[in-house]
Structure 1
Amino acid sequence: MSKALLPLFFFFLTCFSKPITYTPKASLLFPSDAVSILSFKSKADLDNKLLYELNERFDYCQWQGVKCAQGRVVRYILQNSDLRGIFPADSLTRLDQLRVLSLHNNSLSGPIPDLSSLYNLKSLFLDRNNFSGTFPPSVLLLHRITSLDLSYNGLTGPMPANLTVLDRLKILRLEWNRFNGTVPPLNQSFLLIFNVSGNNLTGKIPVTRTLSKFNTTAFSLNPNLCGEIINKACTSRAPFFGSPSASGPLGQSAEVQGSGANSGGILVLTPPSSPKKKHQKTTAVLGFTFGIALIIFSVLLALALVRKQSGKKRLDSKETKPTTIVSSEATNSNLGNPKTQVEEVSERKLVISEVQKPKKSGNLVFVAGEVEGYSLEQLMRASAELLGRGTMGTTYKAVVDGQLILTVKRLDAGKTGVTSGEVFEQQMDAVGGLRHPNLVPIRAYFQAKGERLVIYDYQPNGSVYNLVHGSRSTRAKPLHWTSCLKIAEDVAQGLAYIHQASRLVHGNLKSSNVLLGTDFEACLTDYCLAVLADSSSTEDPDSAAYKAPEIRKSNGRLTPKSDVYAFGVFLLELLTGKHPSQHPVLVPHDVMEWVRTMREDDGGEYHRLGMLTEVASVCSLKSPEQRPPMWQVLKMIQEIKKSAMIEDSASFGYS
C-alpha cells in the first residue's frame, strides 16, 4: 500500500469502526443487503433471537431466514421467530431484489413502513403480528405481488377501494383487523384465496365474477355487510334531509338516481303535474298532515294520563312492592335460549322498585373492586330491551343515563330460589373476581326478596349461535375451519382459566353463551351460575345435549370434566353448523365422515378438520375419566394451529 493511501485507509477505519457492533469479526465493507438486514434486526429483534455474524463478505446469505441469488437477497423468511419490536423504515425496504418477505406469527408492532421500493416483491406475509395503523397504501404500487396476507393484526381505517390494481393477486387475506368501509369490487381472475372476515366493513358486497367464487365465511363477522353473495338483503333508505332532486351524498345514492320504481323507501323522480293535480295533491297533503297531528296529540295526551296514574300507584305502594323488572317481550337476539321467539316492540323501561336496603341485601353490589359508576336508582331508570330467555333467566340490554350500555341478567326465582341469600352472595363474590380476555366480566349484582340480578359488560357483536346458525330465513353454511379454530381456542382459553384459577366450573357452556367482543374475540358468559339453579328444571333439547352423560343420568355434580364434554359438543356444532340435538350418536371413527358430509365445500381441509374433529371426539367421550383436562385440550388446539401455520408456510412458498 502506498504511503499516499495510508491516511485515507485510517480515515475509513475510524469511520467504520463504531457501526460494526453487530459482530466482532465483521468486515469493514458491508454489502448493502447485509446492512439492510442488520438495520432491521436492530429494531425488530429486541430479544436478540437472530444470531447474525459477518465474517466473510457473503456470510449474510447463510443467515437465518435469508436466501440469496447471485449474492442478492431474494427471500427473507422469519416466521415464528419470536421477534419483538418494530418494522423500521429504510431497512428491509432497500432489498430491491426481494421476492418473498414473511414475518408471519411474530410480535412486531407499530405501523407498516413504505414498501413501494420492493418493486420485485411477489409474496408479502405480515400476518399474526401486532401491526397498527392503516392499510399500507404503498402495497398498491407492488404490481408483481401475487400473495398478500395482513390478517390478525390491529390495522384500522378504510379498506382501499383500488385493490384492483393488484391484477396478479392470487391470495388476499385481511381478516381479523378493524378495517372499515366497503368491499372493493375485485375482478382479478386469478384470485384463489380471499378473506376479509372479522372487520367492520359495511354496505353491499359487489357481485363480481371473482367475489362470487367465495362463500359467506370469507365475509363473516362483518355484521353490516349485505348482498346476494352472503344471502342477506340490503335495505335501501331515503335520506332524512335533501330534496329528491339533490345530487351527491346528501341527495340521492346511485341506487336512488337509477331507480325506476317506488319501493323499499327509494326516492323516485316524477314528471311535473298539471295545476289541477297540484291543487288536489296540496289538499290531500294538508288533510293528511292535520290527521297525523291529531293522532300524535291524542297519543301524547294518553301517555301523560297513564304516566300520571302510574306515578300515583308507585307512591301508594312504595313500602310493599318487591323488586321487579318490568319489560314487554322484545326481539329475540343472541343471548339466552335462541329458540324463544318474541315480537319486536319499541323501547321500554327497566324498572326496579324501591326496597328496604339492609347491608348487602337490597343494594347494588360491585365486585372485584369495581368502581361504582352508577347507582341502583340509575339502573331503575334505565331503558331496557329484552335480548332473550335462557335456562337461568332473562337477559336485557340496559342503557343507563343514555350512555352506559350494560347487560342485565335477571335470574329466574323459580330456578334459583333453592339457594339462600348468603350462598348467592358467596358465589357472586367468587365468580366476580374472575378476569380473563375470554370471559365477559361481571361488574355487579343485586338481590332482594324474590329478585336477583347479575350485571355484565355488553358485547356488541352477538353470539356464536347466531354466527353459526344464521337467521331463520337462511341457513348459514358451516364456518371456515380457521374461524372454527380461532373460536375454539378462545373458548378453551376461557374454560382453562376458570378451571385453573378457581375451583369453579362453567356448567352452562353452549353457543348462545359464547359472545363476540369488540374485536370479535369469543367470550364466555353465564359462567359458574349453574350451581345456583334447580337441576330438576326442564331444558330445551339443545341445552340438554350439552350435558355430560354422568350429569344427565343422575343429576350429578358439575365438574371440570363435564365442561370438557360440553366443549366437545360445542366444537362439533362449530364444525358442522348443526344444532346439538341433531348430532347423531356415532363411534369416534364415524364422526369424521359425518363432519365431512356436513362440510361439502372443504375438500382441501380434510386433514385439518380431522384434527379438530379428533379433539371434539375425545372431549365428548362418555367416561369422564377418559376425557382430557381443559388445559390439555387447549394445548391440542394450539398444536393444530401451529401445524397449520407450518403447512401454510410451505404451500405459500415461505421456505
Structure 2
Amino acid sequence: MQPPNPLFPLLFLFLSLSPSSSSSTTTTTTTTEPTLPSDAVSLLSFKSNADLNNKLLYFLNEPYDYCTWQGVKCSQNNVIHFILQNLFLNGTFSPNSLTRLTHLRVLSLRNNSLFGPIPDLSSLYKLRILLLDHNHFSGSIPVQLNLLNRVVSIRLDFNSLNGSVPVINVPGLKIFNVSENRLTGPVPFTPTLSRFDATSFSGNPGLCGEIVHKACDSRSGFFNGDGDSSNGDGSGSGSSSSAAPLESQQSQGIVVVNSAPAKKKRGAKTNGLVLGCSVVIAILVASVVVAVVLVNKKKRSFLRKEEREKAIVEEEAVSETVNGNGNDVVEVEAVTKMRSGRLVFCCGEVQEYTLEQLMRASAEVLGRGSVGTTYKAVVESKLIMTVKRFDGGKTAATSGEDFEKQMEIVGMLRHPNLVPVRAYFQAKGERLVIFDYQPNGSLFNLVHGSRSARAKPLHWTSCLKIAEDVAHGLAYIHQASSLIHGNLKSSNVLLGVDFEACITDYGLSLFADSSLTEEDPNSTAYKAPETRKSSGRASAKSDVYSFGVLLLELLTGKHPSKHPFLMPADLQDWVRAMRDDDGSEDNWLEMLTEVASICSATSPEQRPAMWQVLKMIQGIKESVAMEDDTENRLS
C-alpha cells in the first residue's frame, strides 16, 4: 500500500471551506454599488435581445420582483420555470442570458418568432424540459445538449436548423423532435435516438440512416491504391474518369444508371440513327458498369502499393497452407504465428475482419499529431473504427520487437475511461494501431472548436464530470501497468456514446516525433518542466502535471499556451475572471482550481499520485451531491 500523501491535510482543510466564506469575499468586493440578483440580470438580458417589440413588462422595484414576472416561477428566489409561449417574441436568444439560470428545470419558448442560433445550454444542468419548437432558429443543433443528463423532453421542430443531427444519448430522454427543419446527413443510431421513430425527424429531406429508413450514399476510400498513401491528405481523387458521363443512384438495393443528357441529345438529333445510338449507349453503359466494379474492387488502402501486394500474397499463402494441411497441428500453429505477427488482435479480441479487409477500408483523416495520422475507417461498409498510422520515419528508431512488446502491454488495458486498443499491425516501414471509434469527437473540440471568442467555458459540473473520468482512466494506467501516458492533452481525450471522457494514445509517446511537439506551443505547455529538456524523461508525475494543465483548460476555456504562471492565490482570481460567473458556485470552483494548482506544481515531488488526485475530485463530487440532496429536501 502506498503511504498517504502529505498534501491530504491541505485537501481536507480545502474541502471544509464553507460557501459563506467565498460569498463573503465576493460581498466585500462589490459593496461599492448595489447589484441586482443574478437571476434578474439573466431575465432582463434575455428580454433585451428576444423582446424587440417590448411585449414583456418586466420592472424591478424590489429585489425579488422578478419571481412575479410573466412566465417566471421561483423556488427560494431561484428561477426554476421560464415559460413564454405564443407571445410572438421577435429577437434572438442571447448566449449570456438564460444560460445563467443554473436552477432552471423547465424552459419553454415555443410558438414565437425567435431567430438566430440556439446557444450552448449545458450550464442548465438541472434542466428537464426544453421546448424551442415553432420558431425561426437557425444554425446547427448544439452538441452540448448531450450534457443535459436530466432532460426528459427536447422539442426543436418547425425551425430552420441546418447541419447534422448530433449524437444524442441521454438515458432519460422520453420526447425528442427535430422535424421540419433543414437537417442533412446520417441520423446517429444511438441507444437514445433509436427509441424514436421516423416522425421525430420528418420534414428533413436531407437526412438518411436506419432510423429514417433511407439509405445514405456510400463514400469511396481516401487512400489511392495505385500510389503512395503516405501523405494522408484524404483527397479522394481516385475515381475513374470513364464514370464521369454517367449518374448512378441507388433505390431499394437496385443500381439505376442513366446516360448523360449530352449523349441523349446527340442520339435524338436524327430519327434514322436512333437504333444505332441506342446500341452505342448500351455498350457504353455496360463498359462503365464494368469500370465502376473494377474501381470499387481497387479500394484505397492504409498501406503503400508494394506493401499491400506483398501482404495479400502472404495472406493467400497462409490460406492455402491452412486448407492443404488442416490435419497438421504443427503447420497450423506456425501459420497462425505468421499471421498474428502481421495483424494482431489484442486481449483475446475476436477477429472481426481480415488483413485484406482492413487494407481495403475506406477512410477519412481525423487529425495529425506527433504520434501519427488518425483516420476514421469503415470496413465492409459496416464496421467503423479509428486507425492511427505511424510514419515509418518517426518509428524507425524503435525495433519491430520493441513495438510489439509495447503494444502487447497497451492492448491488455481495459477501462471504461480508456479508448481500447483492439488490434495492431506492422510491416516494413508501416505500423497501424486500431482503436474503437468514438462518435462525439475530442474534448479539445468541445472546449474550443465550436465556441466563439466570447463564449463561456463549460459549466463547472461538466468540468467536474470530465475531470473525474480522465482521472479514473489515468489512475488506472498508472496502477494497472508499468505504463505512463506521456502525451495527455485535450485532443487525446475523446467523448464516447454517453459523453463519457475516454483517454486515447496512452503508451504511444515512445513513437512520437518530438520535433512536432516543440512546434506546437499548446503541446509544450502540457509538458512538465522536468521533461522539457532533451534528457528529461516522462513519468507518472509528469502525467499528473499534464492533468493539472488540462483541468485549468476545462475551467477557463483557454488554450494551455495562454495560461499565465501564477501563484495559487492569484490563480483562483484568474480562473474566476476567465469564467465571469455570478459567484454562486465559487466554493466548488475554488476546490477544482486548487486541485489543478496542486497537480501542476513545478517540482514533481510536490505533486500527488494520480490515485490521490482522483480521491480529491471524488471528495468534491460527494460534497456537491450532499448539497443537492439537502436542496431537494427543502424544495
1:461 aligns with 2:429: no
Are 1:548 and 1:562, in contact at CA under 8 Å, matched by a contact in 2?
yes
Q: Report which stretch shifted further, 598-607 or 429-438.
A: 598-607
Are 1:226 and 1:234, in contact at CA under 8 Å, matched by a contact in 2?
no
Deviations 1:552-607 (A, max 9, x none): 12342110001000000100010011111111121222111111111113421111
1:316-465 equivalences in 2 (<5 Å): 321-323=306-308, 359=338, 363-465=342-444
Deviation at 1:527, TM superposition (A): 0.6
Deviations 1:356-415 (A, max 9, x none): 888267621011111112111111222212111121111111111121111111112222
Are 2:488 and 2:526, in contact at CA under 8 Å, matched by a contact in 1?
yes
For residue 371 of structure 1, give the secondary structure of its aligned residue in structure 2.
Answer: coil
Classify 1:449/1:252 alpha carbon distance in 2 versus 1 (closer, same or farther; 3 Å): closer
Aligned equivalent of 1:558: 538
Between Structure 1 and Structure 2, the one with more helix by share is: 2
Deviations 1:128-183 (A, max 9, x none): xxxxxxxxxxxxxxxx9969xxxxxxxxxxxxxx999xxxx995559xxxxxxxx8
2-structure distance, mates of 1:553, 1:231? 53
Are 2:182 and 2:204, in contact at CA under 8 Å, matched by a contact in 1?
no
1:195 aligns with 2:125: yes
1:124-523 equivalences in 2 (<5 Å): 171=103, 185=109, 194-195=124-125, 205-206=132-133, 219=145, 221=147, 236-237=181-182, 253=203, 290-291=261-262, 321-323=306-308, 359=338, 363-471=342-450, 476-523=455-502
Q: Report which stretch shifted further, 470-479 or 360-369.
A: 470-479
Classify 1:307/1:575 alpha carbon distance in 2 versus 1 (closer, same or farther; 3 Å): same
Deviation at 1:207, TM superposition (A): 8.7
1-structure distance, mates of 2:432, 2:481? 23
Aligned equivalent of 1:641: 621
Aligned equivalent of 1:546: 526
- TM-score by structure 1 length? 0.53
Q: How many residues align?
A: 410
Structure 1 residue ranges without an equivalent (≥5): 1-143, 148-161, 175-182, 241-247, 257-287, 325-350
2-structure distance, mates of 1:377, 1:370? 18
The one-letter code matched in structure 2 to 1:387 is L
For residue 402 of structure 1, give the secondary structure of its aligned residue in structure 2.
Answer: coil
Are 1:239 and 1:251, in contact at CA under 8 Å, matched by a contact in 2?
no
2-structure distance, mates of 1:563, 1:170? 33
Q: Report which stretch shifted further, 467-476 or 436-445.
A: 467-476
Deviations 1:295-353 (A, max 9, x none): 99999977965985998999xxx9981259xxxxxxxxxxxxxxxxxxxxxxxxxx986
For residue 590 of structure 2, give the secondary structure of its aligned residue in structure 1.
Answer: helix
Instruction: Look at both structures and tell me which one has the larger radius of gyration over its CA atoms.
Output: 1
Are 2:385 and 2:436, in contact at CA under 8 Å, matched by a contact in 1?
yes
Are 1:465 and 1:512, in contact at CA under 8 Å, matched by a contact in 2?
yes
The one-letter code matched in structure 2 to 1:626 is Q
2-structure distance, mates of 1:207, 1:388? 38
- TM-score by structure 2 length? 0.55
Deviations 1:429-487 (A, max 9, x none): 01100011100111110000000000111111111111111337676420000000000
Are 1:397 and 1:405, in contact at CA under 8 Å, matched by a contact in 2?
yes
Deviations 1:73-94 (A, max 9, x none): xxxxxxxxxxxxxxxxxxxxxx
2-structure distance, mates of 1:410, 1:609? 39
What percentage of aligned pairs have identical amino acids? 58
Are 1:382 and 1:399, in contact at CA under 8 Å, matched by a contact in 2?
yes
2-structure distance, mates of 1:553, 1:319? 36
The one-letter code matched in structure 2 to 1:608 is W
Are 1:398 and 1:406, in contact at CA under 8 Å, matched by a contact in 2?
yes
Structure 2 residue ranges without an equivalent (≥5): 1-72, 77-82, 86-100, 112-120, 165-180, 186-197, 207-258, 267-280, 319-336
CA RMSD of aligned residues (A): 5.1
The one-letter code matched in structure 2 to 1:461 is N
Deviation at 1:612, TM superposition (A): 0.3
Deviations 1:496-516 (A, max 9, x none): 000001111011111111111
For residue 353 of structure 2, give the secondary structure of its aligned residue in structure 1.
Answer: coil
Are 1:361 and 1:447, in contact at CA under 8 Å, matched by a contact in 2?
no
Deviation at 1:184, TM superposition (A): 5.9
For residue 460 of structure 1, give the secondary structure of its aligned residue in structure 2.
Answer: coil
Are 1:462 and 1:516, in contact at CA under 8 Å, matched by a contact in 2?
yes
For residue 321 of structure 1, give the secondary structure of its aligned residue in structure 2.
Answer: helix
Are 1:195 and 1:218, in contact at CA under 8 Å, matched by a contact in 2?
no
1-structure distance, mates of 2:569, 2:424? 46
